[in-house]
Amino acid sequence: MSDSQPLDERVTNRSLRPDSPVFLAWVTSGWGARVGQTVQRSAVADFAAQRRARLAERFPGVRLVVPAGSRKVRSNDTDYRFRAHAAFAHLTGLGGEHEPGAVLTIGPDEHRLYLRPPAGRETPEFFADARSGEFWVGPRPTLEDMAVATGLRTADLAGLRDDLAGPLLVVRHDDAVTAMVDEVRGTHDADGDDALHEAVSELRLVKDAYEIDQMRQAVAATIAGFTDVVRALPRALAHPRGERVVEATFGARARTEGNTVGYATIAAAGPHATTLHWTDNDGPVRRGDLLLLDAGVEAQSLYTADLTRTLPVGGQYSPVQRQVYQAVLDAADAAFAVAAPGTRFRDVHEAAMGVLADRLAQWGLLPVAPEVALQPDQQHHRRWMVHGTSHHLGLDVHDCAQARRELYLDGILQPGMVFTIEPGLYFQPDDLLVPEQLRGIGVRIEDDVLVTADGCENLSAGLPRQAAAVEAWMASLA
C-alpha cells in the first residue's frame, strides 16, 4: 500500500465526503495565512551530518538510498503508529511520527532528503486525505522547514526517481523504494545492498555525545516508570489481570515522557517470569511472588532504554528467591567487571556464565563439573539461561543487529558503545531436574552500560539492584 494512496480510496463504501464542484470551490477558499512556528536547526543536525560523512567514506562514488519506511496497515483504513527505520533516524535525526515515505540519499555529490510536501489548500488532498491532509493530521512541515531543521537539502519525493542516477545501493526495507532502485539500476544487487545494511548498523556501534545524552534521558524516564509500577502494586494486587496494571502503568510513563515503549513490555509475575518474553501480561500479581519487569521508555528521539528488575511483590524476597537473585546479581557483577575497552563483546557473556555455572554446580544441578559445562560443546548450565547476556542498545532495542559477527559478538569493546548486561536464571514450573522449591522462579537483572575510556558506566545505576536495596526502595515507595 503506497503512502501516496489516499485512505478513502481503500474504503469507499462509507465515504460521505461531498465532492461537488460547489463544495470543492467552497472548501478550498477563504483561508488566511497559516500561523506557523519558527523552525530551528535541530540539536542533532551536526551529529547526523558527521554520521552521513562517515558512511559516505565507505562507499565512494555510490549514491546510497535510505528510506524512512512506509506506514503499516493495521486494518482497512487504519495504520499502526509510524516509526522510522533506525538507519534513517540515525542519518537524518528524524523519526517518530515524522515523514513516512521520506527517503534520504547520500552522495556522491550531495545529501538530499526527499519528502512529500504538504498539500496546498487549493487541493482536495488537504481536507480529504486522512493520511496526510492537514484537516486530518494537522500542519505538516514544508520542505523549507525540514531543510532548516535537518541542515539537509530537501526535495519533493515525486522527483526521486528522476534523480536516481549512477551506481546505487539501497537499504532494503521499503518495497516500493527497493523496486524503484532495482528498476533504475536494472539489477537486484542484494549483496551490495546487504553491505550497506551492515554498514548503517555498524555505524551505530559507537554512540556520539548526542546519542549518549538521549540514552541517559531514556534510562531516567524508564527508572521513573519502574517507580510508578512499584507505587501501583496495590492496584495490581487487587486486579485479576494485575500484570496489565503493571504494563499500563509503565506505558503511561513511556507515552507521556517519551515516544512510547521501546519494545513490548514484559510484566511477568510468578511462574510467568520463567518465560523470557512474556508479553501477554494477562495474569495476576500475587503477594509472595516475584514480578519480573523488563521495560524501556523510548525517548522522542527514538533511543530506548532496556531495563529489567525482578521485584518481590510483597516487599521482601523469600530465602530461596534471594538465593537465586543473588546468583544472578553476582553473574551481572562479573560481567560488569570485564566490560571495558579491549574486552571482546562475547567475553562479557562468558564472565556471567562462569558465575552461573559455578552456582548451579554448588546447588547440585549440573551433571558435570562447571569447567566442563562451560566448554562450547557442553553448556549444561544454559538450560536455565538460554539467552545471551548482552546486546547493543540505541535506536533499536537490539541495536546494530546487522553488524558483522567480527564487529558484534567477536568485536572489541570501545568507548561509546552502549549495551545491556542481563543475566538470568529461569526454572520452569515443570522442570524435573531442579528441586521443587526452585520451580516457577525466574529472575533477570538488566542494566544499560556505557563503555568509557577506562571501564564502563552503569547508566541505570539509579535503579536499585542489590536485594536489600530493592527492598528498601520498595518500602520507601509504599
Give the contacts of 234 (CB within 8 A, at least 6 positions apart).
none
Specify the residue for cell string 515522557.
257
Question: Binding string to ligand GLY for residues 42 to 71, with x set by CB under 6 A, is what?
Answer: ------------------------------
Q: Smallest distance, Å, CB 273 to ligand GLY?
A: 13
> Angle between the 319-338 and 467-477 helix axes, to the nearest 10 degrees?
110
Q: What CA–CA distance (Å, rounded) separates 413 from 427?
A: 32
Q: Smallest distance, Å, CB 62 to ligand GLY?
A: 34
Q: Smallest distance, Å, CB 397 to ligand GLY?
A: 6
358 near ligand GLY, judged by CB under 6 A:
no
Under rule CB under 6 A, which residues in 374-413 are in contact with ligand GLY? 391, 397
By beta-carbon proximity to ligand GLY, the closer residue of 366 and 395 is 395
448 near Mn ion, judged by CB under 5 A:
no
Q: Which stretch binds Mn ion (CB under 5 A): 79-87, 156-164, 256-264, 419-427?
A: 419-427
By beta-carbon proximity to ligand GLY, the closer residue of 243 and 294 is 294
Specify the residue for cell string 503512502.
3
The secondary structure of 311-370 as a DSSP string is: EETTSS--HHHHHHHHHHHHHHHHHHHH-STTSBHHHHHHHHHHHHHHHHHHTT--SS-H
390 near Mn ion, judged by CB under 5 A:
no
Residue 373, all three cell numbers: 559445562
Count the site residues for ligand GLY by CB under 6 A: 5
92 near Mn ion, judged by CB under 5 A:
no
By beta-carbon proximity to ligand GLY, the closer residue of 263 and 363 is 263
Specify the residue for cell string 571482546.
344
By beta-carbon proximity to ligand GLY, the closer residue of 135 and 263 is 263
Q: Smallest distance, Å, CB 417 to Mn ion?
A: 15
CA nearest neighbour of 313 among 267, 252, 265: 267
Phi first, then psi: give them for residue 260, nearest 5 degrees. -175, -160
Q: Smallest distance, Å, CB 391 to ligand GLY?
A: 6
Q: What CA–CA distance (Å, rounded) separates 206 from 198?
A: 14
460 near Mn ion, judged by CB under 5 A:
no
By beta-carbon proximity to ligand GLY, the closer residue of 307 and 329 is 307
129 near ligand GLY, judged by CB under 6 A:
no
Q: Smallest distance, Å, CB 421 to Mn ion?
A: 9
Specify the residue for cell string 570485564.
338
By beta-carbon proximity to Mn ion, the closer residue of 92 and 308 is 308
Work out which of 420, 424, 451, 464 binds Mn ion, going by CB under 5 A. 420
* Partner whose binding site includes residue 263, from ligand GLY, Mn ion, none (CB under 5 to 8 Å by kind): ligand GLY
447 near ligand GLY, judged by CB under 6 A:
no
Q: Assign 52 to helix, strand or coil.
A: helix
By beta-carbon proximity to Mn ion, the closer residue of 126 and 426 is 426
Work out which of 79, 202, 298, 306 binds ligand GLY, going by CB under 6 A. 306
Does residue 91 contact residue 104 with C-beta atoms inside 8 Å?
A: yes
Work out which of 143, 263, 382, 452 binds ligand GLY, going by CB under 6 A. 263
The residue number with the shortest CB distance to Mn ion is: 306
Phi first, then psi: give them for residue 418, nearest 5 degrees. -130, 125
**CB-count burial class (<10 Å; 0-12, 13-18, 19+) for 100:** buried
**CB-count burial class (<10 Å; 0-12, 13-18, 19+) for 97:** middle
By beta-carbon proximity to Mn ion, the closer residue of 274 and 420 is 420
Q: Smallest distance, Å, CB 66 to Mn ion?
A: 26
By beta-carbon proximity to Mn ion, the closer residue of 174 and 446 is 446
CA nearest neighbour of 223 among 328, 292, 307, 311: 307
79 near Mn ion, judged by CB under 5 A:
no
Work out which of 243, 247, 294, 358 binds ligand GLY, going by CB under 6 A. 294
Q: What CA–CA distance (Å, rounded) separates 450 from 440?
A: 33
Under rule CB under 5 A, which residues in 291-350 are in contact with Mn ion? 306
Give the contacts of 278 (CB within 8 A, at least 6 positions apart).
266, 267, 268, 272, 292
247 near ligand GLY, judged by CB under 6 A:
no
135 near ligand GLY, judged by CB under 6 A:
no
Q: What CA–CA distance (Å, rounded) separates 361 from 476?
A: 36
Q: Smallest distance, Å, CB 455 to ligand GLY?
A: 23
Q: What CA–CA distance (Å, rounded) separates 372 from 366?
A: 10
Residue 22, all three cell numbers: 460547489
243 near ligand GLY, judged by CB under 6 A:
no
Does residue 411 contact residue 419 with C-beta atoms inside 8 Å?
A: no
Binding site residues, Mn ion, CB under 5 A: 306, 420
Binding site residues, ligand GLY, CB under 6 A: 263, 294, 306, 391, 397
